[in-house]
Structures are given as structure tokens and as C-alpha cells.
Structure 1
Amino acid sequence: MKATSRPNEPNRRSSGRIIARIIWTSIKVLIIPVLCIAALIIGLAVGYVVLGNRPTSEVFDSTTWKHMYDLVFAESG
């Protein structure tokens, strides 16, 4: 029985393949949180504009959301 010869170079990945794999893994890990944040922003806009019949310019105004927070968490007295 004769042993098969192995190449002298070890089986290494090129640096380009490693970088591509790191980028692809990063994309897979980050896609869910990014989609969740996008869904939150779109849901806030649709709920405020369509259901609330308010202008779109007020959706991302911080005083609007502070006022809503105060309405929801105000102490009843």
C-alpha cells in the first residue's frame, strides 16, 4: 500500500475569504436588530400619522413623545 502525497503547503484560507466571512457574519448578526428598529420607526410614524390624523412633521419631534409619555405615566389624582 502506498501513501498518498500531501502538498507541502498547509490548507490555509486567503485573507480575502476570511474578511468576507467576518463581514457576512456581522451582517447576519446585525440584521435582526436593524430590522426591529426600522419596524419601530415605521410603526410609530404610521400610528401617529394614519391613526392619529396628525402631520408627518410632528412624528420625530421630541416634545411630541415627551407629551405622550407624560399622558401615559401621569399620576391620577
Structure 2
Amino acid sequence: MKAPSRSNGKSKPSFGRIIARVVWMSIKLLIIPVLCVAALIVGLAIGFSVLGDKPVSEVFDIKTWKHMYDLVFAEGG
């Protein structure tokens, strides 16, 4: 006489659970870079407007960053 087979409790996960795990892992992987970029933007805006006494809109102007690049990498002479 054989004993009836038992399931070991490891059933195949449903499609919804797989999608939920993929979404959760994506969120966990992306949260740090997104927070770093947000902190960079907020820091630039606050530093440029408070310390530099300039309008916040100039932070996102390409001319501002070209001028900064030219100041940093100008030939000293």
C-alpha cells in the first residue's frame, strides 16, 4: 500500500504575483538614483537662488552651464 502523495507547499506562483515582484524589484532598484537626481536638482535650485541671488529659472538655462564650463576650463595666462 502506498501513501497518497502530498504537495510540499511549493505551488507555482500566479502571474499577478510575478508581476508584483518584478514591479517591486524595479522600484527598489530605481529609488536611490531617482532620489539622488531629485536632491541634485533641489540643491542646484536652492544654491543658485539663495547663495547666488539669481532667479531659479536660470539654473536650467544651457547658457549658464556653458558660462560655468568656460570659467572652469579657461586657459590661465
Question: Scaled by the length of structure 1, what TM-score is found?
Answer: 0.86
List structure 1 runs of 4+ shifted beyond 3 angstroms: 2-5
Give the paired residue count.
Answer: 74
What is the rounded CA distance, in whole Å, between the counterparts of 2:24 and 2:51 in structure 1?
39
Cα 1:4–1:51 change in 2 (3 A) is: farther
For residues 20-54 of structure 1, the C-alpha deviation after alignment (integer angstroms, 9 at most, x for no partner) is: 00000000000011111111111111111110000
CA RMSD in angstroms comes to 1.8
Structure 2 unaligned blocks of 5 or more: none
1:5 offset after TM fit, Å?
Answer: 3.9
| Equivalence for 1:73 | 73
Structure 1 unaligned blocks of 5 or more: none
Percent identical pairs in the alignment equals: 70
| Equivalence for 2:33 | 33
| Equivalence for 1:20 | 20
What is the rounded CA distance, in whole Å, between the counterparts of 2:24 and 2:3 in structure 1?
39
| Equivalence for 2:64 | 64
Question: Scaled by the length of structure 2, what TM-score is found?
Answer: 0.86
> 1:24 is aligned with what amino acid?
W
What is the DSSP-based 3-state SS (H/G/I as helix, E as strand, rest coil) of the residue aligned with 1:59? helix
1:14 offset after TM fit, Å?
Answer: 0.4
What is the rounded CA distance, in whole Å, between the counterparts of 1:66 and 1:18 in structure 2?
47
